[in-house]
Structure 1
Amino acid sequence: MTTIIIEDEKPAARLLQRKLDKLNIPIGVMLHSVEEAISWFSANKHPDLIFLDIQLSDGLSFEIFEHFVKAKSEIKSAVIFTTAYDEYALRAFKLNSIDYLLKPIDEDDLEIAVSKFKARLPKQESLKLDFEEIKKMLTNPFDKNYKTRFTVKIGQHLKVITTDEIECFYSENKGTYIHTLDNRDYLIDSTLEVLEQELDLKNFFRVSRKFIIPLKSIKEIVLYSNSRLKVVLPTYKAEEVIVSREKVQDFKTWIG
């Protein structure tokens, strides 16, 4: 039996590996991003089982599967999801995957999930997971209250910034910043990964590992090298805002 872990937080991946070692489940490799996983699956025989984190550093893990679908290929490995999402979002795929494990992962739940996988091993059936439906449930959960304002600290003062004032969010030197339409930057206590869950994704899009932009702030879209796109914003000029190649199609759908 071959098993891999796809998890962007390396300490969490190592902890899961130690728990699996206790169950005599060997881990062949640990992958930490969408890009790394696509590269690995393209060059290696697919494993029997994947422990799959949903939110990776460079996007949702479903993008890995979407890549191979577009390439008219398929990943037939069984999947056990590992996620910080609550049961409300998870109900979308409770019946489709082998199991899901809510972080922090309980060892008894892990053992049950592995047992479920082993029970289906002789059948060698490939799972049919509806990743599009799962993705919709995760990114657009029902009755979600989206974040519409942020509080930032300026010296001894606090300032409230509404989403209408935001030109983009960006990460730099392990910090996350708001850039406003009046050409100012504010450090916030968050990450782009967290913001993806808090913002209304009808109005905001994560174009790359470094930027989340609102639709209303797009001034111009320009063709860029390697099938990418460049987004021009009203005042942000610190560096080019590039839509990564794997996100271009979703970006076009979003703006359309």
Structure 2
Amino acid sequence: MTTIIIEDEKPAARLLQRKLQKLNVEVGVMLHSVEESIAWFSNNAHPDLIFLDIQLSDGLSFEIFEKIEIRSAVIFTTAYDEYALRAFKLNSIDYLLKPIDEEDLEVSVAKFKARLPKQNMVQMDFDQIKRMLSNPFDKNHKKRFTVKIGQHLKVIAIDEIECFFSENKGTYIHTFDNRNYLIESTLEVLEQELDPEKFFRVSRKFIIALRSIKEILIHSNSRLKVILPSYAEDEIIVSREKVSDFKTWIG
């Protein structure tokens, strides 16, 4: 089968390519923007399967389908939370939440192969999708969180937060005064709610505040280690595929 990846973060695209190779799926082409993808599809035979990031550097990837009639199966690779994705998941579409788990990837590929040789045509309600997903960073960002402590409610301002972390299927706020608070959210949801200039998801487990960074150390395998003022329960490691974006974020 013919497969391509459309992903604006080149390290993430290469990582996905390596994971697919382990499943004996060869990637013919990797594209990195809406403009590049439209040009490529205009001049090449369409593949059987597309791994497609939703948010590309020059716009939403749905813009490709508005310009080109594409007859390919699509597996979205995205950081959007599962609840939002339910708004437009169709029979011909699957999705993988970033960072992509290899077992989930294997299941998605198996689903696609099980449908062969049926021809898949992507049909999407672009207006509905854009209402749900377009420009998530233009909305008002979270300014505070309310947490329950016994019979009391405590309001935590965004500037009090050093980082967010996940542990034992729970999500926690860690504040500058070295306290942890359980919240009813996920890191995936928080990524959409927080100001991306102030917060960055460095790994599957951590979202950190820019103002909380005390020190950055070179770590093994081309990764970085971040030291915060008070959090010391676990090492905060910037995953390899996020190092480039992290360096851009910190300026």
Q: What TM-score does the superposition give when structure 2 sets the normalisation length?
A: 0.58
The answer to whether structure 1 residue 207 and structure 2 residue 187 are counterparts is no
1:214 offset after TM fit, Å? 0.8
Q: Which residue of 1 aligns with 2:121?
A: 115
Instruction: Kindly tell me the number of residue pairs found equivalent between the two proteins.
Output: 180
Report the counterpart of residue 154 of structure 1 in structure 2: 149
Ranges of 4+ aligned residues in structure 1 off by more than 6 Å: 33-36
Aligned partners of 2:62, 2:2: CA distance in 1, in Å?
A: 27
Tell me whether 138-147 or 240-249 shows the greater mean CA deviation: 138-147
CA separation in 1, counterparts of 2:134 and 2:206?
A: 17
Task: Report the equivalent of 2:81.
Answer: none
2:190 corresponds to 1:195: yes
Q: Partner amino acid for 1:191? A: T
Q: Secondary structure at the match of 2:141?
A: coil
| Alignment equivalent of 2:18, drawn from 24, 39, 62 | 39
Contact 1:179–1:185 (8 Å) recurs in 2: yes
Deviation at 1:103, TM superposition (A): 2.2
Kindly report the root-mean-square deviation, in angstroms, between the aligned alpha carbons of the 2 structures: 4.0
Which structure 2 residue ranges, 5 or more long, are not aligned?
5-11, 33-45, 77-84, 94-118, 124-132
Distance 2:203 2:148 in 1: 26
Tell me the equivalent position of 2:106.
Answer: none
3-state secondary structure, aligned to 1:252: helix
CA distance in 2, matches of 1:224, 1:96: 44
Distance 1:139 1:220, change over 3 A: farther
Q: Which of these residues, 164, 171, 188, is aligned with residue 169 of structure 1?
A: 164
Q: Cα distance, 1:240 vs. partner?
A: 1.0
Contact 2:137–2:192 under 8 Å retained in 1: no
TM-score by length of 1: 0.57
Does the C-alpha gap of structure 1 residues 81 and 35 become closer, same or farther in structure 2, counting only changes over 3 Å? closer
Moved more, 38-47 or 145-154: 38-47
Give unpaired runs (5+ residues) of structure 1: 5-32, 49-63, 67-75, 118-137
> Is the Cα contact below 8 Å between 2:171 and 2:187 reproduced in 1?
yes
User: Is residue 89–residue 141 contact of structure 1 (8 Å, CA) maintained in 2?
Assistant: no
Structure 2 counterpart of 1:79, one-letter code: I
Aligned to 1:79: 50
Shift of 1:185: 0.2
2:244 paired with 1:249: yes
Does 2:224 match 1:229?
Answer: yes
C-alpha displacement of 1:171: 0.4
